[in-house]
Chains A and B, each alone.
Chain A
Amino acid sequence: MKKTIVPLGPFHPLLEEAEYFKLIVEGEKVVDIDMRVGYMHRGIEELSTQKTWDQSTFVVERICGICSTSHPMAYVLAVEDLCGCEVPDRAKYIRSIICELERIHSHLLWVGLAGHFIGYDTVFMWGWKYREPVLDICEKLTGNRNHYAMMKPGGVRRDLNNDDFAWVHKEMDKVIKSTEMLVGAVLDDPVLHARTKGIGVLSKKDAIGYGTLGPTVRASGIPDDIRTDDPYNAYDRVDWKVITWEGGDVFAKAAVRLLEIIESAKIVKQCMDDMPDGPIDANIKNMPPGEGIGHAEAPRGEVFHYVRGDGGNSAVRHKVRAPSFMNIPSFKATCVGHTISDVALITAAVDPCYCCTERMAVVERATDKLVMSGRELEECSRKATENLKKEYGSPTKVEKTVQKILSDF
């Protein structure tokens, strides 16, 4: 049979960012795959070395809109490793809460996207509907929906308000309930089984051989998780378990992610219950020359950061390795031999990026008086979100727009 090339990318509805998968096909069957990454190169590592230690936290936060806290997390761990400082307990708990909230919303986002990729738009819409309360929690706790800017070398930038925890508990219960419903709906659907079981099987050997990370390797039955392998934050002080699933197929990956949402929600709840009082920042005074490494478990797997300082105000080398870098080559093992439909599904481990909204405090310059505190601004932002929801919730706005288009036409 004649071999032809079907390009998946660099720009394709399946991929939210530019990546190129060259599928070499015989009819519908994929006989070989070639992967090209690097379309999104932004020179973050170089940029980071031109910024101060504190500023770099925000630079790495922009690496990914979804892993927006995992990168700063790994980075501050690396900096703390370099200067050998001990982070206060309260900061550790706050960091855990933010990291787990990120995991929950990231996995829910993935569930929605996976539903979309398989043509199941109802799951897409419902997955994202359930994700919305998690973003509300993030906004309430940190002031931002996506880029939280909570991490800083030595601690966290903002304290959490203990009064908010009762509300967060209530919202978390809702998230657990809706996730359990999603688990039931997705894991029991016979058509979904037919589409995802036995598809893109990543064997244990290949999972280790390719060095895959995160849910990808855990779906192959290997309990690999930085949170237990090299505990950071408060993960060794709360009760939770690493989710693994046998099989290594698309179904197993979906199952691992869905069940991890519930585990993460449990961690968040426990962290809020056990939250100690005390300082949130170790106030690092000087940076010694040397090297530091930090790794954190991002929703997609281990994020690894390496920094080297010469005693100055910024890193002289900063190296970042994101989990997808390790997971993408495993397509060579999982995609070959399947049809184009399945390959689209197997490769669907991609994340879109989001803009973030800016937050600030309004201060009258002449008197240095605080006009609006962060909390009031946060209220403003919530109101704005509510208004947006209201505005786009009513059809009149859409109707008006279309009427305008029609009249222009």
Chain B
Amino acid sequence: MAVQGILTVIKFVVIAIAILVLGLITSWIDRKVTARIQARVGPPWFQPIADILKLLGKETLVPEGAGRNVFLYAPVIGLAGMALAAALLGNALISPEVGFVGDVVVLVYLLVIPAIALIIGASASGNPMAAVGASREMKLILGYELPYLIVIATVIYKTGFTLKLGDIVETQALDGWNLWSISGVIGFFILLLSAQAKLGLVPFDIPEADQELMGGVITEYSGPPLALIRITKTMLLAVLPLLMVTLLMGGVQFEGLSILWGFLKYLVIVVLIVLIRNTNPRVRIDQALKFFWGPVTALSIIAFILAYWGL
């Protein structure tokens, strides 16, 4: 039993690292595509890892008046939550039969932890910019979580009340993708917008807003803690599109060429995220809240009703 446990832990760690590598590749794709859209050349493939390595080698500065422990532990907690979420999702994709009932719910909870950890860390830093950033992040979470959860509930309803990621994938293998219905398409776009907000990308990079808040929540972070935050964001960049592939596009099958097919689906979502990011200005926090609570939530409810009618 103990050996079994250790093996599971090792498997989880390996999956989390694999997701990080996928995230680094995605991050490079993001930067390269962005550069091409903006008529620039873009960085070489190892730039994302080079950035993180560089940050790890820098000094850790803790501002005067900051709550030292909270300030330094917050990124670690964020990364821990993120790594667990990545491992859970990766595990469900590699071996769908192993998961447990309710892992969707656990995943949804875990995905909020990085943002909450950032809020706590920013509040502990004692910087007015970070404080404004933290309050914006909080409002943004309140905004996007509601439609996001309704869409996930819709998916769960469509797959016959399955609360297990592996079963959601298998149901789609039998009945076709969840995406191929009106409610699925609506859900896809809502998940895409929420992913944009969760990742802190334009038009919803409001909590970080370099030009207004000098990085907002991450203003005071430097060196290794900042590297941890970057790693968390990088993993999130891989996990969110993977989650969308899992929930709506039939997951990824790890047999021969279907891995490539799975990667292609993943890539489509990544490129959509990059395109949205590069063709929009940043919105204001009140506009973002109105947007998520107004039209987006209304659409998600419509999607749920459509799913109830079997559309």
Contact = CB atoms under 8 A, between A and B. Distances in A.
A198 to B, nearest CB: 12
Interface string A107-150: 00000000111111111111001000000000000000000000
Contacts of A194: 283, 287
A116 B54 contact: no
A119 B213 CA distance: 12
B282 A120 contact: yes
A402 B211 contact: no
Contact of A120 (B46, B57, B135, B280): B280
B50 interface: yes
A284 B282 CA distance: 55
B282 A119 contact: yes
B280 to A, nearest CB: 5
Nearest to B213: A340
Interface residues of B, number: 41
Contacts of B41: 392-395, 398
A389 to B, nearest CB: 11
Contacts of A25: 132
Contacts of A388: none
Given A191-B203, A341-B212, A393-B41, A118 B46 contact: no
B53 A402 contact: no
Nearest to B43: A398
A311 interface: no
A6 B214 contact: no
B97 interface: no
B128 interface: yes
Contacts of B80: none
Contacts of B54: 405, 409
Contacts of B203: 119, 191
Interface string B122-150: 00000011011001100000000000000
Interface string A330-369: 0000000001111010000000000000000000000000
Given A120-B202, A341-B212, A405-B54, A4 B38 contact: no
Contact of B128 (A5, A399, A402): A5
A383 interface: no
A86 interface: no
B214 A402 contact: no
Nearest to A190: B280
Interface stretch (A7-15, A65-73, A272-280): A7-15
B283 A122 contact: no
A28 B211 contact: no
B282 A118 contact: yes
A195 B212 contact: no
Contact of B132 (A340, A399, A406): A340
B281 interface: yes
B39 A13 contact: no
A192 interface: yes
Contact of A119 (B136, B202, B286): B202
Contact of B212 (A14, A395, A402): A14
Nearest to B215: A13
B152 to A, nearest CB: 27
A124 B35 CA distance: 12
A409 B214 CA distance: 28
B65 interface: no
B129 A122 contact: no
A1 to B, nearest CB: 12
Interface in B181-207: 202-203, 205-206
A4 B127 CA distance: 11
B35 to A, nearest CB: 9
A122 B278 contact: yes
A27 interface: yes
Contacts of A125: 38-40
B214 A13 contact: yes
Nearest to B53: A409
A341 B206 contact: yes
Nearest to A121: B38
Given A14-B211, A119-B211, A195 B46 contact: no
Interface in B7-43: 34, 37-43
B159 interface: no
B5 interface: no
A341 B40 contact: no
A31 to B, nearest CB: 14
Contacts of A119: 202-203, 205, 209, 211, 281-282
Contact of A191 (B57, B212, B213, B280): B280
Contacts of B38: 121-122, 124-126
B171 interface: no
Given A125-B38, A395-B44, A405-B54, A341 B285 contact: yes
B74 to A, nearest CB: 22
A402 B46 contact: yes
A129 B209 CA distance: 24
Nearest to A393: B41
A405 B132 CA distance: 35
A406 B281 contact: no
Contacts of B50: 402, 405-406
Contacts of B40: 125
A246 B201 CA distance: 33
Contacts of A27: 135
Nearest to B129: A6
B47 interface: yes
Given A339-B286, A395-B44, A13 B37 contact: no
B202 A129 contact: no
25 contacts: A4-B131, A13-B210, A13-B211, A28-B136, A115-B281, A118-B211, A119-B202, A119-B211, A122-B37, A122-B38, A124-B38, A194-B283, A195-B287, A339-B286, A342-B284, A344-B212, A394-B41, A395-B42, A395-B43, A395-B44, A398-B43, A402-B43, A405-B54, A406-B50, A409-B57
Given A4-B131, A191-B203, A342-B284, 13 more contacts: A28-B136, A118-B282, A120-B281, A194-B287, A195-B281, A195-B282, A195-B283, A344-B211, A394-B41, A395-B41, A395-B44, A402-B44, A406-B50
Query: What 4 pairs between A and B have smallest CB-CB spacing?
Result: A119-B282, A125-B38, A120-B281, A118-B281
Interface of B: 34, 37-44, 46-47, 50, 53-54, 57, 128-129, 131-132, 135-136, 202-203, 205-206, 209-214, 278-287
Interface of A: 4-7, 12-14, 25, 27-28, 115-126, 129, 189, 191-192, 194-195, 339-342, 344, 392-395, 398-399, 402, 405-406, 409
